[in-house]
Amino acid sequence: MLITNIKGLVGLHPKEKLVLRGSEMSNLPVLENAWLLIENDLIKDFGEMDSIPPSISCLPSTDAVDKYVFPSWCDSHSHIVFAASREEEFVMKIQGKSYEEIASAGGGILNSATKLREATEDDLFESALVRLNRMILNGTGALEIKSGYGLSVESEIKMLKVIRRLKENFPIPIKATFLAAHTYPIEYKGNHQGYIDLIIDEMLPQIAKENLADYIDVFCEKGFFSVEETDQILKAGAHYGLKPKVHANQLSISGAVEIAVKNNAVSVDHLEETNAETIQSLLNSNTIVTLLPSCSFYLGIPFGNAKGFMEANLPVALASDYNPGSTPSGNMNFVVSLGCIKLKMLPEQAINAATLNGAAALELSGDFGSIAIGKKANLFITKPMPSIAYLPYSFGETQIETVILNGEIYNG
C-alpha cells in the first residue's frame, strides 16, 4: 500500500528510540508533504513527495491531501472485560456520593464482580469485542487489558481466557494483566491473608501454567490493598515471571509508587495524587508514569501532575482506563484532548504520551508507537485537518478517517 500527498507524517521517531523522557516528549517529528510505503504488515519506506523515486510513484496509491498519518494510539491500561455497565453509580455520583462511598456500600468493583461471576465466557467475549472494535475504530492499535472483576480462581481465569480470545481474534497486540488484587471479595472480607494466599498459591500457578498473563497489578490504596500486601503479591508474581504494572496513588498518597518502583514496575498508573517523594522515588528508575485523565474527568478527582513528571525528566504515558466504574470510555482521542486541556500537555507531548510512551508501557515500542522503517504498519489517516493540534483541540469529535492495522484497512 502506498499513501501519497500526506499533509504530515507524524511521529517519525527512530526505531531504536524506545521511550521519551521529560523534555524529549516535546519533540514530535513530522514530515510534511510526504509519501508512505507499506509492504505486507510493515512500514517499508517514506519520504517527501518532491523526491519520490519513480519506482514508487508508479505504484497504485491512496491520496491523503490535507490529511495526516499518525501511528496508532497505544492504550496501556484498560479493563474492557466486564459483564455490565454501572450507570446507577453514575447517578449516585451526581447526587454527591464519592467513589469510596459507593464502593463501601457494595457498589464499585464488587458490584462488577457479582455480575461477572454469573456471566459465561462467551457472554464476556461478545460484549468485550464490541468495546474493542469501537476502540480500534477510534484509533487504538495496541492495548493492555486487565482481569480483576473475577476475584475467585474460576472467574479470574475466565476473564484471562476472554482476554486470550480477544488476542486471537483481533489484529492488534494485546497484553494481559492479572489483577485479582483489585479488591477483597466479600467471602474474604475478614480474612485478607486468606485471599492473598488464594492469589499466590492457587491463581498464580494456574495462570503461569497456561501462560494467561503478561503482567501483575495491584490496586494499592487505603481500603483496598496495603503497601505490605502489594509487596507480597508483586513478589509472588515476579516468581512466575510477571512484571508489575500498579494502580498507585489514585485516591491518596500511599507509598504505592515507592513499592512498585522497588519491585521494578514497568509502569505506575493513575498518580492523581503526587508529592515530591513520589517523584523522587521514580528518579533513576525505568518505570513509566501512566496518567489516566478520563478517570479524573469522570470521577471528579484531581488530574495527574504531567508537567511535574516531565520536569523531573520522567517518561509519561497516557491511557484510557476504560472500565464500567471510573471510566466508561475507551476513546483515546478524548484522552489526548484531556492531556492537553486538563494536564496542560502540549499536543506534541500528549501525542507522544499516547503513542510511543504508551507502547513502551506495553513493552512493545520496538514495533509500535511511531512511524519508522521496519515497524508494524498500525496507523490511522485523519480527515482533512488544518494542523496536528486540531486533533486534540476538536475534543469529543473523531478526526480519524481510515484505520490501518498490519498494513490493511480495518473497517470493523
Q: Is 86 annotated as a binding residue?
A: yes
Q: Is 325 annotated as a binding residue?
A: yes
Closest distance of CB 102 from ligand NIG, Å: 8
Closest distance of CB 116 from ligand NIG, Å: 10
Identify residues 94-123 at the interface with ligand NIG (CB under 6 A): 108-109, 112
Q: Is 394 annotated as a binding residue?
A: no
Q: Is 270 annotated as a binding residue?
A: no
Buried b (16+ CB within 10 A) or exposed e, 148-176: bbbbbbebbbbbbbbbbbbeeebebbbbb
Among 296, 305, 326, 399, binds ligand NIG (CB under 6 A): 326
Please say whether the dihedral angle defined by the alpha carbons of residues 147, 148, 150 and 153, taken in this order, is positive or negative. Answer: positive
Among 89, 156, 231, 321, binds Fe ion (CB under 5 A): 321
Nearest of 357, 347, 362, 411 to residue 68 by alpha carbon: 347
Report what 173 binds from ligand NIG, Fe ion, none; CB cut-off 5-8 Å by kind: none
Q: Is 182 annotated as a binding residue?
A: yes
Nearer to ligand NIG, 78 or 370 (CB): 78
Is residue 305 packed enough to be buried (19+ CB in 10 Å), middle (13-18) or exposed (0-12)? buried
Alpha carbon of 58 to those of 4, 42, 43, 411: distances in Å?
11, 20, 18, 27
Nearer to ligand NIG, 254 or 323 (CB): 323
320 near ligand NIG (CB under 6 A): no
Q: Is 326 annotated as a binding residue?
A: yes
Nearer to ligand NIG, 67 or 86 (CB): 86
Closest distance of CB 165 from ligand NIG, Å: 21
CA distance 308 to 303: 12
Closest distance of CB 23 from ligand NIG, Å: 29
Q: Is 149 annotated as a binding residue?
A: yes
324 near ligand NIG (CB under 6 A): yes
Report what 319 binds from Fe ion, ligand NIG, none; CB cut-off 5-8 Å by kind: none
Task: Report the binding-site residues.
Answer: 77, 79, 86, 149, 182, 247, 250, 321, 323, 325-326
Task: Report the binding-site residues for 4-imidazolone-5-propanoate.
Answer: 86, 149, 182, 250, 326
Question: Which residue ranges make up the site for ligand NIG (CB under 6 A)?
Answer: 108-109, 112, 219, 247, 250, 295, 321, 323-326
